[in-house]
Structure 1
Amino acid sequence: MTEERPGAAEVVDSVLAALADPTRRQLLELLAAQDEATATTLAARLPVSRQAVVKHLAVLDAAGLVSGSRVGREVRYTVRPAALDATARWMASLAADWDRRLAKIKRVAEAAELDARSARPD
């Protein structure tokens, strides 16, 4: 049986759910700044326990945002940008759709204003 890759919508959903928590966003920022770190190192920089950091890292890992690799007794975590990139592309596409819609509304409103001006007697 082959493992199915999640679709773009599922990736975006899991990334947004993972990033909804401020501690996970902080963890991601710390990892991005350090390239790699252990849960112990990350916990030292946050007001949460190492066990809480491990749980948050598991959520980030499940969302495809980080990955851990065992080096001896430690697990070192690194950022995986692909899921974040996919989410950024989705957000940019959504923003472009809204820009197009708003531009159309502006054109319609300006045309209506121009029609109203030309219909007024001087």
Structure 2
Amino acid sequence: MSENNPLRDVFDAIADPTRRRLIQLLSEADEVPLHELTAQFPMGRTAVSKHLAILREAGLVTDRKVGRETRYRLHASPLREIEDWAAYYRKFWQKNLLRLNQLLEEEEE
């Protein structure tokens, strides 16, 4: 589970390509109204809202009402959990590729 919000795991939240696209769109602006986000997808407002709710549960998105409109903003800090996880495996592969390279060099000698 994400330490930022216990309702939803950040890995689960970004598992869907639609949600990853929403994160990308939100990263390109300070705040985006729901109708502008919905216009970017071949699905209805309700479906986009459900994806945004999952992102909000993971702490990746905040929202606020402005009149009758809901505006969304990216809160990217929970993505650090994914970055940390990927960094571990980046080191793992670098180390193993270095060992493989050493073995191949020894074999050539």
**TM-score, normalising length: structure 1:** 0.72
Q: Residue in 1 aligned with 2:51?
A: 56
Give the match's secondary structure for 1:48: coil
Q: Does 1:35 align with 2:30?
A: yes
Q: Does 1:102 align with 2:103?
A: no
Following superposition of structure 1 onto structure 2, how do residues 11-90 of structure 1 map, counting pairs within 5 Å? 14-90=9-85
Determine what percentage of the aligned residue pairs are the same residue. Answer: 38
Alpha-carbon distance in 2 for matches of 1:107, 1:38? 54
Is the contact made by 2:2 and 2:78 (CA closer than 8 Å) also made in structure 1?
Answer: no
Q: CA deviation at 1:18?
A: 2.0
C-alpha root-mean-square deviation of aligned residues, in Å? 2.5
Alpha-carbon distance in 1 for matches of 2:59, 2:96? 32
| Unaligned stretches of 5+ residues in structure 2 | none
Deviates more, 1:65-74 or 1:79-88: 65-74
Q: Structure 2 vs 1, CA of residues 63 and 94 (structure 1 numbering), >3 Å: closer, same or farther?
A: same
Alpha-carbon distance in 2 for matches of 1:108, 1:58? 50
| Unaligned stretches of 5+ residues in structure 1 | 1-5, 115-122
Q: CA deviation at 1:103?
A: 0.7
